Amino acid sequence: MIPAIVVFIYLAIVLYIGIFAFRKSASSGEDFFLASRKLGPAVFLLSLFGTNMTAVAILGSSGFAYRNGVGVFGLMASSSGIIIPLTLFFIGTRLWALGKKHGYMTQVQYLRDRWEMRGIGTFIFALTAAMLLPYIIIGVMGGGTTLETISGGVVPYAVGGAIVAIVVMSYVFFGGMRGTAWVNAFQTVLFLCFGAIAFTLIARSLGGFPQIMGDIADSPKGYLLSRERIPPEEFFSYMFIPLSSIMFPHIAIMCLTAEKIAHFKKTVIFYPICILLIWLPSVYLGVVAASQYPNLDPGEANNVIIRLLADNTNVLIAGILGAGVMACVMASDSQILALSTMFTEDLFSYYGGRQKFGAKAEVWAGRAFIIAIGVVSYIIALQLKDKANIFELAIRFAFSGFAALSPVMLAALFWKRSTKWGALAASVWVLFGVLGTWYLTAISDDMAPKPPVARRPQVAQAGGGAIVPIADTVPGGKRPGPPKPLKPVQIYPALGNLFLRGPANVTVYGFLPVLPMVLGSALLMILFSLATPPPSTATINKFFPPKEDRTVAG
């Protein structure tokens, strides 16, 4: 229980930070939801990065690398290190300027004004809220998995998930954006340090980096050191995933909290470095875990880093590093606050709640929603234990859906001729894309190709009494070659290779659904905008003022 106790101490510190932020807060909605738009450069950078690095970054990426090897780094980290800073620079700064000028607190508020729409804005709110929920569920799953593993099962998954959910809801409930940003800044420092320390200690315990890599290269797991396990079509598809970053409500809302536009400069510079410090050790440890714990189930693969820590460091260090993992897992606090902000501003206040009940009721409505969304996420997370890989759950629903909404935001910000009907057509396409992915995944689970079950014998007694693994050999003393990649199967044979089911995901002609979702969204945005009348001249001039009327915000 020593590692678990260390993690509990960490949770208490985080809770205190949130309560301290509550003592510094004002009673206004802008202060609760946006920290009065006064976050400094350091807190802004750390909280913006931290809010985007949830359980997907450490637990999800290591679990995915456990099965697919080092190519996972190329899937997300390399493209994210380029695309996300560019979106922050070109889109985040413009959102900040518009929010500062017109008082926007959410994306939907801006889109409603930009395209003179009401009900369509509510539909976009509902769609983004539904797609953000899996991200919050992932945080609860990660918390339950971490505490269960690090305590050796003394703290069950259900209890661990409940503890994390309660702590997160508490400091978000009291501290709002200020508490969330302070906690995220603290947690980001913690998990940035975690990667380098865990990498060093585990490598040293297992004989050093060169020996570990040499042993893996000479073993049946050698294929994990190449990209061959990931088909080229899927690899290319992942380049579209980072487009989701700026469409995530928690990222867009975080962009509105900066005190000055200059704060974005350092963020754009340091963001790729932070991604490297998180993803590189996580992917590496996932590959190492594949050689140490072969044949884990998808749910079990989520906790391979925790297993390595428990088996290769002393209990105190394991607890401290476990707190680092927990820091990354608990970054779902920003998603909870973002949903609360959207509910309060895009529904409660927009439909008369603020005028009828006052500004204080606006804050309490947001706090009530925080509790509701936390409870719902926890209940769903209980049902998904050992049934879903964190990384794949995020890719299927959260990342793909928000990436496909990026043409809507790009059109709103940079294309005068875009219309609300184009936004509606693109959003409906995204809805059907997400539902179609869910449906095809559900009906094809039983037909998904699975590797043959061939668990190696556990251990054998060596002459000196030590416990050593039995060698992976076949008759004649030769090692078996790497397993052949599993061939995807046709979901509907009559449609040929249109819909294929691989071991984990549904694909469209071999590409992940995110590719046709993004391209289809962009095409519909263009076609329906050109076929329908544009917004009024006054609205266009409001957001695209003539050159002589333009001023530089900030």
CATH for 372: 1.20.1730.10
Q: How far apart are CA 424 and CA 421, in angstroms?
A: 5
> Residue 499: which H helix or E strand, with range?
strand 499-501
pLDDT in tens, the chain (554 residues): 777 788 888 888 888 887 787 777 766 778 888 888 888 888 888 888 877 776 667 777 888 888 888 888 888 788 888 898 889 889 999 999 999 999 999 999 999 999 999 899 999 999 998 888 877 887 788 778 778 877 778 888 888 888 888 888 888 888 888 888 888 888 888 777 777 788 788 888 888 888 888 888 888 778 788 777 778 888 888 889 888 888 888 889 989 988 888 888 888 888 888 888 888 888 888 888 888 888 777 667 777 887 888 788 877 777 777 777 777 666 677 888 888 889 999 988 888 887 787 777 888 888 888 888 888 888 888 877 765 555 566 666 678 889 999 999 999 999 999 999 999 999 999 999 999 988 998 899 888 887 655 444 444 444 444 444 444 444 444 455 556 667 889 999 999 999 999 887 889 999 999 999 999 999 999 999 999 999 999 999 999 988 655 544 44
Domain annotation covers residue 508: no
Beta-carbon neighbour count of residue 380 at 10 Å? 15
Residue 489 falls inside a structural domain: no
pLDDT of amino acid 328: 66
Q: Residue 507 — φ and ψ, nearest 5°? A: -130, 160
Distance of CA 528 to the CA centre of its chain: 31
| Domains of the chain: total | 1
Q: Which residues contact 339 (CB under 8 A, 6 or more apart)?
A: 129, 132, 133, 136, 249, 369, 373
Is 344 a member of any domain? yes
What does each C-alpha distance from 539 to 51, 149, 419 come to in angstroms?
33, 55, 11
| pTM given for the model | 0.81
Distance, CA of 388 to CA of 398 (rounded, Å): 14
pLDDT score recorded for residue 72: 84
Which residue type does 339 have?
L
Q: What is the 3-state secondary structure (H, E, C) of 45-65?
A: HHHHHHHHCCHHHHHHHHHHH
For residue 9, which of 329, 320, 317 has the smallest C-alpha distance?
Answer: 320
> Does residue 460 form part of some domain?
no
> Residue 336's pLDDT is what?
86
Q: Tell me which residue has tokens 């909605």.
A: 29
Report angle CA 90, 397, 18 to the nearest 5 degrees.
Answer: 70
Identify whether 309 is part of a domain.
yes
Inside any domain, residue 164: yes
Residue type at position 454: A
462 belongs to a structural domain? no
Which region, left, alpha or beta, applies to residue 135 given φ > 0 means left and ψ of -120 to 50 means alpha? alpha
Position 97 in a domain: yes
Report the alpha-carbon distance of residue 493 to residue 122 in Å, rounded.
39
Nearest to 50 by CA among 305, 299, 337: 337
Question: Which residues have CB under 8 Å from 501's CB, separation 6+?
Answer: 440, 444, 447, 448, 449, 488, 489, 490, 491, 507
- CA–CA distance, 141 with 540 (Å, rounded to integer): 45
Q: Which domain holds residue 361?
A: 2-22+38-393
Specify the pLDDT at position 455: 46
DSSP-based three-state secondary structure for 207: coil
Q: Please report which residue ranges of 394-419 form alpha helices under DSSP H.
A: 400-414
- The whole-angstrom separation of Cα 181 and Cα 20 is 12
Q: How far apart are CA 241 and CA 505, in angstroms?
A: 15
